[in-house]
């Protein structure tokens, strides 16, 4: 069991959830306020996507990321900022008879272009989605090839930003470990084991245990699962030696039929950790634990 637990709050995500709950933040101000709410509840890290304020859909706009970061850095909090670098990988295959006529929703750019906001804003952590994936039941494929990943990992290392490796299936983890062997990752790379996303790794405890057994012994890692599995997964993660991620990116409900806020989900996670005998780390303690920039 992990006795010293870092809680990450993924405050909004990229899915089409803004109209499914009144609490999903959309504007940069709402996203920053949600992150501060999570910090007040006990989160050390905020994992941040941005959304177009007009359409409420996910976005790669630098100005939106910049405003969120400016608001957080100006606030009286020491929250660790973790920006997604996963946007720009959405390939919508065309219809059955014309699969190469990609749908207009496609947003596909190279691995380095996905880092434009990381280059500019220099967060302490950014993510790297470690493989391609059939995403959901339509013709959406998330594209993250070995060449893209190698280029992005090398650049993130040059920028002195700690990478959070998003692992959606066992092959993703296999390749992440290969990048580590190739020297493309700093030794404080954080592993995020993501379960329950169709059609990646199912939310099965045996599969979580199998992936944990593949990790290097000195790794810091977190896991999460979607929906109703989110809070039970917080306990499972801690029991197996990991950290915790909660938030509205992955789950909209506090209880059956009761919409959650990010702060409420973090409060539940804090209670789970402390009732199991663990300690929730502050942002300063998390920086030391993860050996972030300036603390190594």
Does 104 have pLDDT greater than 90? yes
Report yes or no: 251 and 260 within 8 Å, Cβ to Cβ.
Answer: yes
Beta-sheet pairing, 258-259 with 50-51: unpaired
The pLDDT value recorded for residue 293 is 84
Does 294 have pLDDT greater than 90? no
Which letter does DSSP use for residue 134 in this model?
E
Closest CA to 84 of 121, 52, 51, 115: 115
Report yes or no: 228 and 260 within 8 Å, Cβ to Cβ.
Answer: no
Does 30 have pLDDT greater than 70? yes
Does 148 have pLDDT greater than 90? yes
Put simply, whether the predicted model's pTM sits higher than 0.85 gets the answer yes
State the maximum Cα–Cα separation within the chain, in Å, rounded to a whole number: 57
Which position has the token pair 């199991």? 276
Report yes or no: 201 and 191 within 8 Å, Cβ to Cβ.
Answer: no
| Average pLDDT along the chain | 96
Give the mean model confidence (pLDDT) for residues 155-169.
97
Q: According to the 3-state scheme, what is the secondary structure of 221-289?
A: EEEEECHHHHHHHHHHHHHCCCEEEECCCCCCEEECCEECCHHHHHHHHHHHHHHCCCEECCHHHHHHH
Does 38 have pLDDT greater than 60? yes
Closest CA to 134 of 126, 125, 142: 142
Per 3-state DSSP, what percentage of the chain is helix, strand, and coil (rounded to 5)? 35, 20, 45
Q: How far apart are CA 142 and CA 109, in angstroms?
A: 11
Listed in sequence order, the residues at least 6 apart from 54 whose beta carbon sits closer than 8 Å to its beta carbon are: none
Token output for 283: 């942002």
For residue 295, name the pLDDT band (cuts at 50, 70, 90). low
Does 75 have pLDDT greater than 80? yes
Strand, coil or helix: what is 178?
A: helix
Task: Quote the CATH superfamily of domain 4-290.
Answer: Aldolase class I (3.20.20.70)
Q: Mind listing the pLDDT tens digit for each residue in 223-275?
A: 999 999 999 999 999 999 999 999 999 999 999 999 999 999 999 999 999 99
Does 220 have pLDDT greater than 70? yes
């Amino acid at each position: 069991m992990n006795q010293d637990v870092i809680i990450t709050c993924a405050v909004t995500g990229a899915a089409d959830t803004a109209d499914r709950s009144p609490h999903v933040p959309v504007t940069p101000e709402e996203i920053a306020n949600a992150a501060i709410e999570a910090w007040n509840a006990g989160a050390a890290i905020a994992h941040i996507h941005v959304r177009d304020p007009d359409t409420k859909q996910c976005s790669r706009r630098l100005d939106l990321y910049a405003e969120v970061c400016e608001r957080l850095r100006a606030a009286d909090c020491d929250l660790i900022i973790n920006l997604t670098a996963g946007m720009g990988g959405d390939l919508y295959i065309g219809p059955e008879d014309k699969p190469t006529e990609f749908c207009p929703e496609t947003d596909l750019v190279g691995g380095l272009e996905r880092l434009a906001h990381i280059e500019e804003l220099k967060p302490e952590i950014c993510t790297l989605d470690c493989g391609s994936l059939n995403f959901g039941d339509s013709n959406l494929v998330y594209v993250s090839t070995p060449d893209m990943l190698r280029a992005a990992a090398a650049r993130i290392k040059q920028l002195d930003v700690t990478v959070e490796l998003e692992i959606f299936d066992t092959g993703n983890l296999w390749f992440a470990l290969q990048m580590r062997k190739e020297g493309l990752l700093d030794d404080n790379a954080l592993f995020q084991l993501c379960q329950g996303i169709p059609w990646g790794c199912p939310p099965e405890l045996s599969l979580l245990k199998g992936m944990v057994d593949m990790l290097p012994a000195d790794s810091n890692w977190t896991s999460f699962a979607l929906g109703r599995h989110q809070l039970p997964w917080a306990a499972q993660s801690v029991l197996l030696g990991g950290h915790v991620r909660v938030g509205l990116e992955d789950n909209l409900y506090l209880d059956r039929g009761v919409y959650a806020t990010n702060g409420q989900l973090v409060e539940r996670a804090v209670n789970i950790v402390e009732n199991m005998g663990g300690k929730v780390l502050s942002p300063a303690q998390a920086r030391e634990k993860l050996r972030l920039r300036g603390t190594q």
